Structure 1
Amino acid sequence: MKELPASARAVVIGGGIIGCSTAYHLAKLGWTDTVLLERKKLTSGTTFHAAGLVGQLRTSANITQLLGYSVQLYKRLEAETGLGTGWKMNGGLRLACNEERWTEVKRQATTARSFGLEMELLTPKEAQDLWPLMTIDDVVGAAFLPTDGQANPSDITLALARGATMAGASIFEDTEVGDIEIDNGRIRAVVTARGRIECERVVVCAGQWTREFAARFGVDVPLVPMEHQYLITEPFGVPSDLPTLRDPDRLTYYKEEVGGLVMGGYEPNPAPWAVNGIPEGFHYGLLNPDLERFEQIMELALGRVPALETAGVKQLLNGPESFTPDGNFILGEAPGLRNFFIGAGFNAFGIASGGGAGMALAEWVANGEPPFDLWPVDIRRFGRPHFDADWIRRRTIEAYGKHYTMAWPSEEHASARPFRTSPLYARLKAQGACFGEKLGWERPNWFADLAAGETPQDVYTYGRPNWFSAVAREHRAVREAAAIFDQTSFAKFSLKGRDAERALSWIAANNVARRPGSVIYTQMLNDRGGIECDLTAARIAEDEYYIVTGTGFATHDFDWIARNIPAGLDATLKDVTDKWSVLVLMGPNSRSILQRLAEDDVSNKGFPFGTVRTIVVAGRTVRAMRITYVGELGWELHLCVDDAAAVYDALMEAGRDEGLANAGYRALETCRLEKGYRAWGSDIGPDHTPVEAGLAWAVKTGQATDFLGRAAIERQLAEGVRKRLVCFAPDEPGTVLLGRETIYRNSDKAGWLTSGGFGHTVGRAIGFGYVRHRDGVDSDYVLSGTYELDVAGRRVPCTPHLAPLYDPTGSRVRS
């Protein structure tokens, strides 16, 4: 048996498709001393029993790009390695069997075009011509993506393994990792029964074993093994070039296999597996079929493919697959442990993702960052609830059951709630709050008028939803009177130490070297100038900053700041989220309401915009920050959790005759769209710079202080940019914008919307998106074009704007 090397540049743990793809791509990057360790045999975990459908379209442009890379890799892999892969680019069909699903499919086709895929919309008969085995009595329409396909999971994995060794990597089967040596937070070696390998980088691609293994080293990987069943028929004359078929209204999928069919689906009552741990030695393992649970899928399938009734059954396969709480896979460097990377939780589309995920993970390992923004799958999107095994299991069961259900705009999860609540939860619920959830926190999305008989419950649609008028009420309160938002879920950090200013000045793009009492809105950039964080920093003292960021970015932003504090500086970052509640008081009447309760002067002179003060409100000490995300006069009131209820009650009483109303996150969204405020994760992110996003005013290039990303920003300011964030207002008043609609400039495709919604003050839909052109984009270029948006297959004329649609004062912020 071949001996293990004494050292390696990187060790990949796990010999499924993700591990083999990662090793392949690391070796292709020149990391020829990469070692892959598999505890049993390659593919013997869960890869060998995957169904093998390869679809590409996702709601994220970059994840779609990643899956598209898989297709390009699989097309050339057999010629490169000499091993068959079973790859067939036979296309993929998706059916719609009701009008709402047809709207969803048409919007998916628009998204596909936005992301560079040509998805064709078909009539039922055209779909049947491509897939003659099906009945179409209930089909409204279909979409066909010609570049989708299918592959043999084991064959394609072995080809990747061959390609990895051809490029210089080493692969060792029957080699289980017993431990990882870590010294002062640094990985030193991987330890196996066959020997020890010194290394500084470990990539864990261990499938359903990843959560338990990573937890031994303090890394949380929220995934759950779920039973997934599919049927393989005997051959019955199925054409070899038959496209893959997804029939989401019947919860089923199909692919051709050796003249027969593979048919599986996603039942609404799925079963988690190995709740008490994966059995010792489990490999090449299948589970006993659950005929009763599969019967519901079979009945739905027979209604679509009657030939299944007489086709012989070769096998009903039941195998465990790793699923996650949000249905997206998990990639990236673990927060809190340098050079410990994860690639796991692929939700039954690991074959489709395998090529691209391995490429992205390899570049992340080699370069210290992913090749592009991968936030939807980044391990840092998780937080506190994802350490709770029961929470993860309940949420993942829901996510599995929704795999083929309608993907409604603004849809919320229902399981494992409530988990984290603010002190106002019961009060707000009694006043009609309809709650959403973010990172385990219950947050009011909107408020029903209980006296008028409204029910605080979301009714989802692709048209105007049932909360539209309620959000309009709250929006008007913000603009015309005052509203109070409970934003206790904000993530909050303390950066403290003698060198806090030096550390934050390096990490932050804006000037944070201001006197205590200042509040600074700033981005934090990567080396390419891309926006990694978008937050506020309040200078509390000479040696302390209080940093506030979005609920969902708690883990990501803490990790980014912590890992970029220059070595040797006295600056300690601490998460203080649970110590503070946040009441956000906004609107033209907010000052008079606050002044009734405050012992301090809150006039514009006494409390200017962009400042933080410790004041007394209703007898309680409050850290008040004058800042806005809605474009109106207002304050964020940060206060002790125990004082939140008393201050809230006092504010509501003081504002009773001034029109003060409760407001939720959906009103916050409509207000920020009108004011042109950017949202990280949609409008801005690591692939967008402040110059491209119209935020160059918040970058301190006019000062001598160096900061992370400065060179990239100065280069763009000197040379110009190839994309620019633009606001679009459709000319048709009833247009519903959701994001990802294709932008056409002078009839040429120019980009897509990053976010969309409705502005209740301006009375129209609003969308934001980047206009792109390889020769450069400036203001004249943007405003000289004639624009249309593709909305579910319809071209809607629209008007571009570089200034906010709502700006009554002619300035960015009211005084």
Structure 2
Amino acid sequence: MSTIPTHARVVIIGGGVIGCSVAYHLTKLGWTDVVLLERKQLTSGTTWHAAGLIAQLRATANMTKLAKYSQELYGNLEAETGVATGFKRVGSITAALTEERREEIYRQAAMARAFGVSVEEISPSEVKARYEHLNIEGVTGAVYLEKDGQGDPANIALALAKGARQRGAKVLERVKVTKAVRSDRKITGVEYETASGEQGSITCDHVVNCAGMWGHQVGEMLGVNVPLHSCEHFYIVTEAIKGLSQLPVLRVPDECAYYKEDAGKMLLGAFEPDAKPWRLEIPDNFEFDQLPEDFDHFEPILERAVNRMPMLAEAGIHTFFNGPESFTPDDAYHLGQAPEMDNVWVAAGFNSIGIQSAGGAGMALAQWMEDGAKPFDLGDVDISRMQPFQGNRHYLFERSKETLGLLYADHFPYRQKATARGVRRTPFHQHLLDHGAVMGELAGWERANWFANSEQKPEYAYSWKRQNFFGNVASEVAAIRTNVGMYDMSSFGKIRVEGRDATAFLNHVGGGQYDVPVGKIVYTQFLNQRGGIEADVTVTRLSEAAYLVVTPAATRLADETWMRRHQVDFNVVLTDVTAGEGVLAVMGPNARKLLQAVSPNDFSNDANPFGTAQEIELGMGRARVHRVTYVGELGWEIYLSADMAAHGFETLYAAGQDMGLKLCGMHMMDSARIEKGFRHFGHDITCEDHVLEAGLGFAVKTDKPDFIGRDAVLRKKETGLEKRLVQFRLTDPEPLLYHNEPVLRDGQIVGYLSSGAYGHHLKGAIGMGYVPCKGETAAQVLASSYEIDVAGARVRAEASLKPMYDPASERVKV
């Protein structure tokens, strides 16, 4: 074994395909002082038994982008390193057995086209022509990707490791990290033990947790939360089948199955809906190990497979394999800088798609480490999306029963997880349930998404078409637009910023001007050095030395972490107070009338204009009201301390009965906000979207002397916009938009929708998306004809740069 250095710029823990990819890509960027430590042998965790499917089509735009990169990388890796990767572009077919699944895969195919992925929709007879062994009974459609492939997982990892070694990295086997040395928010070194019992330590600038199934344990050692849990994953390999030649990879998700021809044998794998969690703490001696067979568990999959692929009935089973894979609570992997520490990075929890993701994930993480900033939006995989409670062992065990199967489940819009629910509840939870609330879950929070009528079952009936709540949401939007509605916003993050430097700190970290009177509310963004949007928040000045920063529920931790990392020498204290207050939004033309019925305070424009907050009496209690809106109507967000929240709800609800107050949910909010052209963080605005191109220049005050991103804003003003965020409305009221649908300008794909929802007031599906516009005026952008690709069908769309609903914002200020 080569000498173990005493210092490294980075120590990578874990020698599976992910760890090898991170080492490979860091050395490609010129990092030579790279040490990878593997406790046993390279690939000995899960990489060695992976099926080796290398697909480009993923559930989201970012994952598709990264999977496409992986496929391109593996195509050239053998020539670079001399290690045979077994990579072959055999193509892939995903076959649908229902109309709903066909719509799903056709929508995914449309999204893939927007990213330059070669994909085509094919008929059942075309499937048969390319896969003669398949019984096409019940097949409703399919998609074919010619450049998808398969490879030898272990050798792909070994090729990446060799590429890293060739550029100076040390890749060391049988060296187990036993302890991390910590100083405040940094790991200063790691201690290790070799297989021969030798002990030592390495000081380091960075640590990367690529420990796979061990990622949770290694995370605890490093002081970071990495929520994942291992599950049993089954496949069989047949005996050699006479005459079997190279075939595309085949997926039949409606039967939970995938098929791969390999060296004249057939591999059948499964992602069954009721998975078997294995263990959270993996045994220390685990290496190239299998788990006990459980044929009873696999038998239903095999029965359907024999019908779908009749030749399996004649083929003997050579191998029945059961090996563990790690799964995360939301089926997206963990990538990025851990929120709890400033030099710990994570690339783990790849949910059985590690081979196809490893190339892109390693590239993205290496670039992030090199630049100190995300190379592009990675929100759906960023480790900071995970909430602290999600590292809970019981929670992970329960949720992992579902997440393995979700890989091949129907990915319906608004689909909610069924397991590990009810962990975080707002103070109004039971009140809302009593009135017919149908709950969704976000970041662990139970949130009312819509309200069922008395004759309806209060549950989702999923579809890609109009779902069972469509009419309910239409009624909720109508109440907000014409009368008054109330909904629960308690899950939104609330972070207090306090101290003598509070104003100066916020003026450094945010693009707005926060030196405002007490009670003033500032809508604002936190920008990065490129002018991209890291957070979209409201900041309310509570006193001379205290502010409240309100964030989206899903990004509370990320937004707090961003502020902490830029706190430097400012004398401020940051406190998460999310759970301390319940929040009810009262919105609509009659919102003022309702508040006047429950409070003696003055809600007039003179006393409480738009963008201001005030303390009030409410019923027999106290509250603080913020006059802002995310639905484009007159309204207030009412902040109630947790002890008075129930009283506040009951008071408002009782007073509203005479005026037709309607309880509303999050789906209403999304419909109303998109009609008004309000941006949704994580979709319409991300770290790679420039604040001016997002149309939010009004919220940035460049006359301040210094704030993060100021130079990038001034540069963009000088050089001009390269793209604009445009609002679209389909002229046909029938099709639905969700997001990622391609945008066609004068017949050519120019982008994709960043968000979509049905505009119940505007009577059509509304989408938002960026359109390239370099050197063009706004009028030129709007002069083109636009279409949106909805599952392969082009639908004409109206385009606007101003909000289609109340463009002058008159309604919010009445």
State the TM-score, normalized to the length of structure 2.
0.98
Equivalent position of 1:313 in the other structure: 317
* Residue 596 of structure 1, CA deviation: 2.0
Where do residues 365-444 of structure 1 align in structure 2 (5 Å cutoff)? 365-444=369-448
Partner residue of 2:210 out of 205, 210, 222: 205
- Paired with 2:456 and 2:70, the residues of 1 have a C-alpha distance of 48
Equivalent position of 1:528 in the other structure: 530
Equivalent position of 2:493 in the other structure: 491
Against the structure 1 CA distance between its residues 71 and 777, is the aligned structure 2 distance closer, same or farther, given a 3 Å change threshold? farther
- Paired with 1:370 and 1:68, the residues of 2 have a C-alpha distance of 18
- Do structure 1's residue 765 and structure 2's residue 759 form an aligned pair? no
The answer for unaligned runs of 5 or more in structure 2 is: 194-198
Letter in 1 for 2:792: G
Do the aligned residues in 2 keep the contact of 1:724 with 1:778 (CA within 8 Å)? no
Where do residues 545-624 of structure 1 align in structure 2 (5 Å cutoff)? 545-565=547-567, 567-624=568-625
Equivalent position of 2:37 in the other structure: 37
Letter in 2 for 1:4: I
Equivalent position of 1:507 in the other structure: 509
Where do residues 286-365 of structure 1 align in structure 2 (5 Å cutoff)? 286-365=290-369
Partner residue of 1:274 out of 254, 279, 283: 279
1:565-611 Cα distance to aligned partner (Å, 9 max, x none): 2x221011110111111011111111111112223211110101111
* Residue 640 of structure 1, CA deviation: 0.7
- Paired with 1:513 and 1:628, the residues of 2 have a C-alpha distance of 22
State the TM-score, normalized to the length of structure 1.
0.98
Do the aligned residues in 1 keep the contact of 2:385 with 2:557 (CA within 8 Å)? yes
Partner residue of 2:262 out of 257, 262, 267: 257
Letter in 1 for 2:98: N
1:465-508 Cα distance to aligned partner (Å, 9 max, x none): 11111111111111111111111111110111110111111111
Do the aligned residues in 1 keep the contact of 2:22 with 2:365 (CA within 8 Å)? yes
1:521-554 Cα distance to aligned partner (Å, 9 max, x none): 0011111111110010101111111111111111
- Paired with 1:808 and 1:456, the residues of 2 have a C-alpha distance of 35
Letter in 1 for 2:228: L
Letter in 2 for 1:252: A
- Paired with 1:19 and 1:791, the residues of 2 have a C-alpha distance of 38
Letter in 2 for 1:365: M
- Paired with 2:98 and 2:652, the residues of 1 have a C-alpha distance of 48
Q: Does 47-56 or 805-814 show the bigger shift?
A: 805-814
Against the structure 1 CA distance between its residues 238 and 225, is the aligned structure 2 distance closer, same or farther, given a 3 Å change threshold? farther
Where do residues 189-268 of structure 1 align in structure 2 (5 Å cutoff)? 189-193=189-193, 194-237=199-242, 239-268=244-273
Equivalent position of 1:731 in the other structure: 731
Do the aligned residues in 2 keep the contact of 1:266 with 1:400 (CA within 8 Å)? yes
* Residue 238 of structure 1, CA deviation: 5.8
* Residue 49 of structure 1, CA deviation: 0.5
Against the structure 1 CA distance between its residues 810 and 13, is the aligned structure 2 distance closer, same or farther, given a 3 Å change threshold? closer
SS of residue paired to 1:144: strand
* Residue 396 of structure 1, CA deviation: 2.0
Equivalent position of 1:635 in the other structure: 636
SS of residue paired to 2:8: coil
* Residue 813 of structure 1, CA deviation: 3.3
- Paired with 1:676 and 1:230, the residues of 2 have a C-alpha distance of 48
CA RMSD of aligned residues (A): 1.3
1:174-202 Cα distance to aligned partner (Å, 9 max, x none): 10001111112222111112421111200
- Paired with 2:349 and 2:314, the residues of 1 have a C-alpha distance of 36
Do the aligned residues in 1 keep the contact of 2:113 with 2:119 (CA within 8 Å)? yes
The answer for unaligned runs of 5 or more in structure 1 is: none
Equivalent position of 2:792 in the other structure: 793
Consecutive aligned runs of 4 or more in structure 1 exceeding 3 Å deviation: 237-241, 775-778, 808-813
1:368-399 Cα distance to aligned partner (Å, 9 max, x none): 12211111111011114303211122122111
Equivalent position of 1:673 in the other structure: 674
Do the aligned residues in 2 keep the contact of 1:26 with 1:362 (CA within 8 Å)? yes
- Paired with 1:124 and 1:809, the residues of 2 have a C-alpha distance of 51
- Paired with 1:339 and 1:66, the residues of 2 have a C-alpha distance of 23
- Paired with 2:76 and 2:680, the residues of 1 have a C-alpha distance of 39
Letter in 1 for 2:221: R
Equivalent position of 1:477 in the other structure: 479
SS of residue paired to 2:233: strand
Do the aligned residues in 2 keep the contact of 1:720 with 1:778 (CA within 8 Å)? no
Equivalent position of 1:782 in the other structure: 781
Letter in 2 for 1:563: R
1:636-655 Cα distance to aligned partner (Å, 9 max, x none): 11111111111111111222
- Paired with 1:291 and 1:742, the residues of 2 have a C-alpha distance of 44
SS of residue paired to 1:376: coil
Partner residue of 2:456 out of 433, 454, 457: 454
Do the aligned residues in 2 keep the contact of 1:238 with 1:256 (CA within 8 Å)? no
Against the structure 1 CA distance between its residues 776 and 393, is the aligned structure 2 distance closer, same or farther, given a 3 Å change threshold? farther
* Residue 753 of structure 1, CA deviation: 0.8
* Residue 808 of structure 1, CA deviation: 7.2
Letter in 2 for 1:269: D
Do the aligned residues in 2 keep the contact of 1:728 with 1:801 (CA within 8 Å)? yes
SS of residue paired to 2:27: helix
Letter in 1 for 2:517: R
Letter in 1 for 2:431: R
Do the aligned residues in 2 keep the contact of 1:510 with 1:522 (CA within 8 Å)? yes
* Residue 228 of structure 1, CA deviation: 0.2
Letter in 2 for 1:225: S
* Residue 59 of structure 1, CA deviation: 3.0
- Paired with 2:501 and 2:282, the residues of 1 have a C-alpha distance of 48
Where do residues 74-223 of structure 1 align in structure 2 (5 Å cutoff)? 74-193=74-193, 194-223=199-228
1:612-647 Cα distance to aligned partner (Å, 9 max, x none): 111111122212111000111111111111111111
- Paired with 1:778 and 1:698, the residues of 2 have a C-alpha distance of 22
Against the structure 1 CA distance between its residues 671 and 254, is the aligned structure 2 distance closer, same or farther, given a 3 Å change threshold? same
- Paired with 2:368 and 2:467, the residues of 1 have a C-alpha distance of 40
Do the aligned residues in 1 keep the contact of 2:513 with 2:704 (CA within 8 Å)? no
* Residue 812 of structure 1, CA deviation: 7.5
1:111-131 Cα distance to aligned partner (Å, 9 max, x none): 111222121111111111111
Do the aligned residues in 1 keep the contact of 2:107 with 2:792 (CA within 8 Å)? yes
Do the aligned residues in 2 keep the contact of 1:500 with 1:570 (CA within 8 Å)? yes
Do the aligned residues in 1 keep the contact of 2:253 with 2:408 (CA within 8 Å)? yes
SS of residue paired to 1:201: strand
Against the structure 1 CA distance between its residues 239 and 778, is the aligned structure 2 distance closer, same or farther, given a 3 Å change threshold? farther
* Residue 779 of structure 1, CA deviation: 0.9
Equivalent position of 1:655 in the other structure: 656
Q: Percent of pairs identical after alignment?
A: 44
- Paired with 1:22 and 1:573, the residues of 2 have a C-alpha distance of 33
Letter in 1 for 2:255: R
- Paired with 2:150 and 2:721, the residues of 1 have a C-alpha distance of 39
- Paired with 1:279 and 1:543, the residues of 2 have a C-alpha distance of 51
Do the aligned residues in 1 keep the contact of 2:227 with 2:329 (CA within 8 Å)? yes
